């Protein structure tokens, strides 16, 4: 597929410990690092007519601030809040505040793990949720999210 000019701006946000992907609990999270996710998403986005900004932090406040900066600047947020999925009202409120469609991604199937991982503060405000499909889940979120933006524009 040939590259098109960017029509959509996508922000990919990753929460705590995801900087250690590829080295951390590889039986659960796999061998690929965050760099693979970010470069694959940039490449796929370019093919789909979108541009991607990536952000990772281990700090809740930094994640909130980066989400706030997306207000009026971003068409889609793909977020894996990692452990903050299960605890952070602040991240939920930031996502609600910016009013941008959200797709939540988890590398592992959080419903198959410890009971405390089954609750997400993001799922009920997200357009969609992908869990358990490994790091490929980010690419699926990107494709699905852009397809939805394209469809909404055509209406
Ligand atoms: C990543 C984490 O770091 C955990 O805290 C979540 C999520 C699950 C994931 O599967 O991507 O519970």
pLDDT surpassing 80 at residue 4: no
pLDDT surpassing 80 at residue 5: no
pLDDT surpassing 60 at residue 6: yes
Q: Which atom from ligand 1 is nearest to the alpha carbon of 105?
A: 11
Measured distance CA(30)–CA(115) in Å, rounded: 21
pLDDT tens per residue across span 33-77: 999 999 999 999 999 999 999 999 999 999 999 999 999 999 999
pLDDT tens per residue across span 7-37: 999 999 999 999 999 999 999 999 999 999 9
Cα 45 to Cα 99, 116, 150, distances in angstroms: 21, 33, 13
Domains and CATH numbers, the chain: 8-150 (3.40.50.9100)
Handedness of CA 16, 21, 26, 27 (dihedral sign): positive
Mutation test residue for ligand 1: of 57, 80, 116, the one with most atoms within 8 Å of CB: 80
Burial 53-92 (b: 16+ CB within 10 A, else e): bbbbbbebeebbebbeebeeebbbbbbbbbebbbebeebb
> If pLDDT is split at 50, 70 and 90, which confidence band does 3 have?
low
The alpha carbon of 7 and the centre of ligand 1 are apart by a number of angstroms equal to: 31
The alpha carbon of 82 and the centre of ligand 1 are apart by a number of angstroms equal to: 4
Q: Which residues are catalytic?
A: 29, 106
pLDDT tens per residue across span 75-118: 999 999 999 999 999 999 999 999 999 999 999 999 999 999 99
Rounded to two decimals, what is the model's pTM?
0.96
Give me 48's structure tokens: 């789909």
Output the residue whose Cα is nearest ligand 1's atom 5: 83
Neighbours of 25 (CB within 10 A): 11
């Amino acid at each position: 597929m040939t590259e098109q000019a960017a029509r959509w701006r996508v922000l990919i946000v990753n929460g705590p410990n995801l900087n250690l992907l590829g080295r951390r609990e590889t039986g659960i999270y796999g061998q690929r690092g965050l760099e693979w996710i970010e470069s694959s998403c940039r490449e796929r986005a370019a093919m789909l007519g979108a541009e991607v900004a990536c952000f990772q932090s281990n700090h809740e406040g930094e994640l909130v601030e980066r989400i706030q900066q997306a207000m009026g600047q971003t068409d889609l947020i793909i977020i894996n809040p990692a452990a903050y999925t299960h605890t952070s009202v602040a991240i939920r409120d930031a996502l609600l505040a910016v009013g941008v469609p959200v797709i939540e991604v988890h590398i592992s199937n959080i419903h198959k793990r410890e009971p405390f991982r089954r609750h997400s503060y993001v799922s009920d405000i997200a357009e969609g949720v992908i869990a358990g499909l490994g790091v490929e889940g980010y690419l699926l979120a990107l494709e699905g999210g852009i397809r939805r933006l394209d469809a909404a524009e055509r209406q």
